[in-house]
Amino acid sequence: MSQLETKNLNFYYGSSIALKNISMAMQKNSVTAFIGPSGCGKSTLLRLFNRMNDLIDGIKIEGEVLIEGNNIYAPKVNVEGLRKQVGMVFQKPNPFPKSIWENVAFGLKVNGIKSTSEINDRVELALKQSALWDEVKSILQRSALQLSGGQQQRLCIARALANEPSILLMDEPASALDPISTAKIEELIYELKEKFTIIIVTHSMQQAARVSDRTAFFYMGELVEYDETKTIFTNPSKERTTNYVTGRFG
């Protein structure tokens, strides 16, 4: 069984359709990259996986999104529980204006963990997993806003990891970062794959090629092609994919 699966998924903003009949499956402990030109629906799809689109007015969803076989859009789904299980990292680093420790502990606290020693352990683990521990272990009480952009983004990853999710959604996580920070994030994604199922939206085809196992190419709300990353970049079956990955449009 796949970790994450969509079945005949249609998504509407008001009357305009944003995603058309998406059916795809993502395997456990793999990295899937979503690529495509702006407005193709890749971010929208990503945000459907943790129901972040629920915040928008006038949306309509048809079809199913299954996580480990359960439809997350079924009527009685606990959305908060779902979001705990499906972590998300955003395009721009968005740490809270609190201390580094408070940022990572946030998810644990809102999910009802009271024991300080447990929180401390999990904060440390999350910061180690996001390769930030050595840089911040002596300044945990300092404001997260004093960190560099790249550090802030890794802090946001740590914050998501502290909840011990099974799936990690990353919405262009390196687009606001410099090349060195980007390289660190990519390295991190590679390591995190062992424990988490990662879906990453990216504008950079090189990034998709470097970090992902499988790549999905979207165009105008449709899933054009979804295959092994190697195949997509070297031998795609659709002409539109060829044109996009070779830079002829987009």
Partner 1 sequence: MKKIFEKIQVGILAGSSLVTSLTVILIIIFLFSEGIGMFHESQLEEGYVLTVNEANPVTEIDATSIKNIFDQNITNWKQLGGKDEEINLFSIDDLSDFYSDEQVGSDLEYLDTCMNDYVKNHENTLAYFPRKNLPENFHGKEIQVGSISVYNFVKGKDWLPSASPVAQLGVLPLLLGTLWVSLGAILLALPFGLACAIYMAEIAHPSVRKILKPIIELLAGIPSVVYGFFGLIVIVPLIQKLFHLDVGETALAGSIVLGIMALPTIVSIAEDAIRNVPNTMREASLAMGASQWQTIHKVVLPYAKSGILAGIVLGIGRAVGETMAVLMVTGNAANIPHSYLQPVRTIPATIAAELGEASYGGLHFKALFALGCILFLFTMILNIYVQLVLKKKRVK
List interacting residues with partner 1 (CB under 8 A): 50, 52, 55, 57, 80-84, 87-88, 90, 92, 94-98, 106-107, 109-111, 145, 156, 159-160, 163
Q: Who contacts 63 (Cβ-Cβ below 8 Å, separation ≥6)?
A: 6, 7, 8, 9, 10, 21, 22
CA angle 166, 167, 170 (to 5 degrees): 145
Q: Which of residues 83 and 240 has its CB atom nearest to partner 1 in the complex?
A: 83
DSSP structural state of residue 143: B
Min dist CB 156 to partner 1, Å, is: 7
Alpha-carbon gap, residue 159 to 104, rounded angstroms: 4
Min dist CB 202 to partner 1, Å, is: 19
Min dist CB 48 to partner 1, Å, is: 13
Q: Exposed (0-12), middle (13-18) or buried (19+): which is 58, by Cβ within 10 Å?
A: exposed
Contact 171, 88 (CB under 8 A): yes
Q: In whole angstroms, what separates CA 73 from the centre of its chain?
A: 19
Q: Which of residues 73 and 90 has its CB atom nearest to partner 1 in the complex?
A: 90
Q: Which of residues 12 and 90 has its CB atom nearest to partner 1 in the complex?
A: 90
Q: How do beta strands 59-67 and 31-35 pair?
A: unpaired
Q: Who contacts 105 (Cβ-Cβ below 8 Å, separation ≥6)?
A: 119, 123, 162
Min dist CB 162 to partner 1, Å, is: 8
Q: Which of residues 167 and 185 has its CB atom nearest to partner 1 in the complex?
A: 167
Q: Which of residues 110 and 139 has its CB atom nearest to partner 1 in the complex?
A: 110
Q: Which of residues 55 and 180 has its CB atom nearest to partner 1 in the complex?
A: 55
Min dist CB 103 to partner 1, Å, is: 9
- Identify the residue whose tokens are 């408070």: 102
Min dist CB 23 to partner 1, Å, is: 25
